[in-house]
Amino acid sequence: MYKNKYTPISVSVIAVLVMAVYAALFGVYRCNLTIDTPWYLSISYNYCIKDIDNDATFGGSFPFAMGGTVAFGKLAAMLQCAALAPFNWSLVAANVLSVVGVVLGMAAIFVFLVGEGFGRLGAVTCCLALAATEPFVAMANQSKYEYVTFLLAVCGLLLAARRHVLLAGLVSVLAIEAQPIGIMAPIYLIAYELSRMIQTRRFRLEFDRVAKLVLGGVLGFAVYFILHPGILALLAASSNSSGWNAYPNHFLYGYFFETRLYRHLPELAVFTACFVAHIWRR
C-alpha cells in the first residue's frame, strides 16, 4: 500500500526536478565554453543554403576532422534546415529542436520498455534517470547532431520490437550516416535479436527476420552512398596518411578520464555497477 501510494508521487517529483533543470539550462548551458552549437548550425546552413559540404568555418578535412557533411551528417543537416528555416535559423528554435529530439527519443525508449514487459512506472523511472545524466542534458542543450543519431537508434530498436524489421534495419543504418557513433544502432539490433532468441528459447535463426533486417540495412547503405558518392575515393586517398593515428588513446578513455572536472566518472560507476549486477544475476 505504501509503495503504490507514494512511489508515483516521488517519480512525479523527480520528473518536475528534471524538467526544472532543463528549463534552467535552456540557452545557457556551457554557452561560454563551447562553440559546437554555432559550428554545427553553420555546417547545416552551408550545406542546405550554400551547397557547401566541407567545413568552411575551420577548414578541417575528413578523416582528420569532421570536414563538414562530406562523409556524415547530411540527413541531420537536412532536418535542421527544414525545421529552422521557417524561424530564420533562430538559436532558440535550434535549442528547442534539440530538446524535442531528446524527448522523442525518451518516448521511444518508454514505449519499447513497456512493450518488453516493464511496468509504466519502471519505464518512466528509467527514462528520467537517463535524462538526468550529463550526456543527455548536453545533447538537449546543444544543437549538434547527437539527438538525431540517438532518435534514429532508439527508433530502430523500437521498430524491431514491433516486428517492422525492414524499417528497423534501414533506420539503424541511417543513424550511421548522421554520425559514425551511430554504428551502435545496428549493434543494439543484433543484441536485441540475440536476447529475444535466448528468452524465447528459439535458438534457430528466423531467416525471414534476418533477411528483412539485412535488406533494410542494404537500403540504408544505398541511401548513404547516394548522399556521399565520393566517399570511397576519399577514404582511399587518405588511407596512407598519418592522420589516422592522430588519436593514440581510445575515445572512451578521453571521455571518462580527460574531461573537465571528470564529470563523466559517475556514468562509468553506473555502467560498472550494471555490468556487475548483470553478471551476478546470470
Q: 3-state SS string over 175-241? A: HHHHCHHHHHHHHHHHHHHHHHHHHHCCCCCCHHHHHHHHHHHHHHHHHHHHHCCCHHHHHHHHCCC
More confident position, 43 or 239: 43
Annotated domain spans of the chain: 2-248, 249-282
Assess contact for 219 and 165: CB atoms under 8 A.
Answer: no
**What is the Cα–Cα distance from 227 to 253, expressed in whole angstroms?**
32
Half-sphere exposure of 51 (CA within 13 A, CB side): 0
User: For the residues 188-202, what does the mean pLDDT come to?
Assistant: 81
Give the span between the Cα atoms of 6 and 28, in whole angstroms: 34
Mean pLDDT of the chain: 85
Predicted TM-score (pTM) of this structure: 0.85
CB 59 within 8 A of CB 46: no
What is the share, in percent, of the chain residues with pLDDT greater than 90? 46
All three cell numbers of 21, joined, read 533543470
Q: pLDDT tens digits, residue range 37-91?
A: 889 999 999 999 999 988 888 888 887 778 899 999 999 999 999 999 999 999 8
Q: How many residues does the chain have?
A: 282
Provide the pLDDT for residue 205.
Answer: 62
Q: Give 142-164 pLDDT, tens digit per residue.
A: 889 999 999 999 999 999 999 99
Cα–Cα dist 178/46, whole Å: 16
* The pLDDT value given to residue 220: 96
